[in-house]
Amino acid sequence: MGTLEIPEGVLSIGAGAFAQCRMLEGVILPESLESIKYQPGWGEEGGAFQNCFGLGRIVCKGRIPAYVQDGSFNGVPKDNFTLEVPEGYEAQYQAAIGWREFKRIAAYRNLVIRPMVATAINTPVTRDLVLTADDAWSVKSQPDWVTLDKTSGKGKTALRLTFAQKPKDGTVRSGEVVFQLDGKDYETRLSVSQYDYEYAEDELITLQRASRGDGVNLVILGDGFSAKDISEGKLMQAMKQTCEHFFNIQPFKSYRDYFNVYTAVPVSAESGVGTVNTIVNNRFNTATNGGVTRNGDDDYYEVLQYACKAPTVNNENINRSLVIMIPNTEDYGGVTYMWDDGTAIAYCPMSDYGYPLDFRGVIQHEAGGHGFGKLGDEYIYHNAFIQACGCSCCPHESSLQWAHSLGWYQNLSLTGKMGDVPWRDFIFHEKYHTIVDIFEGGFMHTRGVYRSEQNSCMNNDIPYYSTISRFEIYRRIMEYAGQSWSLEDFIENDVMEVVASTKAGWTDDGRTATLNSHEPVFMGKRPQIR
C-alpha cells in the first residue's frame, strides 16, 4: 500500500479509519489535523491506526500536535521508527498525549538520540545511547559532570555516557547534551539528571540476617524505578513494605528468623512499566499484558543473575531461594515464573485494588504461596470438570499432574478420597477437624479437583493459608534451612490466624481481578548462572 498522504484541510481522522491496514508503510498528516480518534468497545478496530503493524514512518506537518485519543495507535511499533515533526516543535510532541509514546521524535532532518533521557544517582555509572544521523554530527555542548566516549561522528553511532561522582549534598543537578548536524543549524538534545541518594546504584543491601538454621534466602528487587523515584525513597519504601507483607502471615510470621532478606538499587531510565502499546525503558524490561509478564528468556536470566549477587545466593542454591520482583505499577495482575528445579521469580505489582486484592494480597498469594510454598491456585473460573475443559489452550489437568510430580501443589488433589488427599492427616485431628475437609472446586474448575478448606489466600488473597498450605511452607523452610521437620512438630507449633473472608475475586472498592489473575508459568529447565 505504501505511504498515504492525508489531504490538507482534513480536521479529524475517525475511529477505525485505517485499522488493520497492515500493508500501510507510512502516513503524512496535514497541518490542519486536530484530532485522531479511538472508539472503546470496537475491539481490534477501535483505533484510527490500530494494528497497522507495518507502519514505519509518520510525518506530522502541524506545529500544534493533534489531539490523539488513547488507543488510536495500538499495535503500531512506536520504537521502530522516527516520528517526524516540524523543526523546533519536537518538545511539544514529546510532551503531548498520544505522541509522547513514540520513542524517536525529530524534525524532518534525521538526528535522533535514543533514549532521550539519561538519569543516575550519586555514583559514577555509564549509560548506552544510540545517535542516528543522516550525516556528520558533533556535540555542541554538555554539562561538565558527564562525558561521552565520542563527541563527533557520522551516521548511526553507539555512544557511552558516563556520569561523574556527585557530592551527597541533597541537591539535583540537571542539564542537556546538545548534538548538532555539522554545517547545519539543526540540533537534538539529551536530557541528563543526577540525584542524591544514600546508596550506590546496584548496591546490595541486607534487610535481615537469619538467626536460626542455615538461612533461607529472599531477594526483593524493583523494576521501573527511576533515579528520581529512588532518590525520593519510593524504591526502598516498596522493598521494605514487601518484606513486611511477606512475613505478616502464618507460618512465615513464626519462622521469620530463618530468613536472610536482601534488596538492591537497580536504576531504570524511565519510571513505570510498559504495555503492548507503550514502551518504557526500565532495567529488567518488565511489561504488563493482562498481568505482569516478562519479555524473553534473557530477561529472566538477567534477574536471576542479578539476584545471585546477594551475599549468600548462588547458582547452587537459587532454587532454594525466592526472588520477588516489584514492578512500579499499581495494576493488580501478578504472576510467578517457576523452573522445574524450584527456582522462582514472583512478579508482584503494587496493587491499589481494595482488600483482599491489595499489594499485601498479591505478595502473599504470588510470592509466599506460589513462589515459596509451591502452592496451586484454588480459585474457580470454569464451570466444568477439570478433565473435560474443552479448551486445548488450557490444559489444567496436565499442569496439575506435572506440579504433583515435582511435589508441588499439595493444597490441591485430583481425587476426593479421604485416604488419598495430601491433607488426610488433618481431617480428623482435634485441632483442625472443624475447618479441614474435602471441598470440590479449585485450580480454575468447579468439578474434578479438590481443596482442603473453604477459603484461603490461594483462593482470594485473604491473609490466611490453609492448614496443608502452612504445613508445606513450614516443611520447605525447615528443609532449606537444613533443619529436621516432622508433622508432630508442625502441629505443636502451628498458629492458626483465621480471618474473615471476602467474596473471591472482588475488592471492597467494587473492582474485580478475575481477568487479571494468572496461574504460575512453568519454565522448564533453568539456565546455569555464571
Do residues 27 and 140 share a domain? no
Same domain, 407 and 468: yes
Would you state the pLDDT for residue 298? Answer: 82
303 in a structural domain:
yes
What's residue 528's pLDDT? 80
Q: Are strands 146-148 and 111-114 parallel, antiparallel or unpaired?
A: unpaired
Nine cell digits for residue 124: 559514577
- HSE (side-chain half, CA atoms, 13 Å) at 355: 6
Q: Judge contact between 339 and 525, C-beta under 8 A.
A: yes
Claim to verify: residue 351 and residue 467 sit in the same structural domain: no
Domain-terminating residue out of 194, 222, 241: 194
Is residue 275 within 8 Å of residue 73, measured between CB atoms? no
CA 229 – CA 108 distance, rounded (Å): 34
498 falls within a domain: no
Please count the structural domains in the chain.
Answer: 4
pLDDT in tens, 235-271: 999 999 999 999 999 999 999 999 999 999 999 999 9
Whether the predicted model's global pTM rises above the 0.85 cut: yes
Q: Is 442 helix (H, G, I), strand (E, B) or coil?
A: strand
Among candidate residues 66, 134, 128, the one with its CA nearest the CA of residue 98: 66
Rounded distance, CA 254 to CA 275, Å?
Answer: 39
User: Cβ of 192: how many Cβ atoms within 10 Å?
Assistant: 21
CA atoms of 75 and 19, how far apart (whole Å) = 10
Alpha carbons 55 and 114: distance in angstroms, whole number: 20
Q: What is the DSSP letter of 288?
A: E
CATH label of the domain that carries residue 117: 2.60.40.10
Provide the residue range defining the domain that includes 55.
2-105
Point out the residues of the chain with pLDDT beneath 70.
1, 290-291, 295, 388-394, 500-517
Residue 34 sits in a domain whose CATH number is: 3.80.10.10
Instruction: Name the nearest CA neighbour of 524 among 252, 297, 232.
Output: 297
At residue 331, the pLDDT reads: 86
The domain boundary residue, chosen from 376, 395, 414: 376
Rounded alpha-carbon distances, angstroms, from residue 446 to 384, 385, 506: 6, 6, 18
pLDDT number for residue 511: 52
**Residue 507 is assigned to a structural domain of this protein:** no
Are residues 265 and 328 both part of a single domain? yes
* 524 in a structural domain: no
Residue 515 lies in a domain: no
Partners of 85 in beta bridges? 107
Within-domain flag for 517: no
Asked, for residue 352, whether it belongs to a domain, the answer is yes
Owner of C-alpha cell 510470621: 253
Task: With respect to residue 7, please indicate whether it lies within any of the assigned structural domains.
Answer: yes
Which residues, in sequence order, are bridge partners of residue 466? none
At 224-239, the pLDDT tens digits run 999 999 999 999 999 9
173 and 94 in a common domain = no
Q: What pLDDT sits at residue 114?
A: 87
411 shares its domain with 312 = no
Q: Examine the domain organization and report whether 264 and 278 are in the same domain.
A: yes
Q: Are residues 241 and 372 in the same domain?
A: yes
Which of 148, 167, 194 is where one domain is finished? 194
DSSP state of 19: T
Q: Which residues contact 72 (CB under 8 A, 6 or more apart)?
A: 15, 36, 37, 38, 47, 48, 49, 50, 98
Instruction: Determine contact, residues 177/119, Cβ cutoff 8 Å.
Output: no
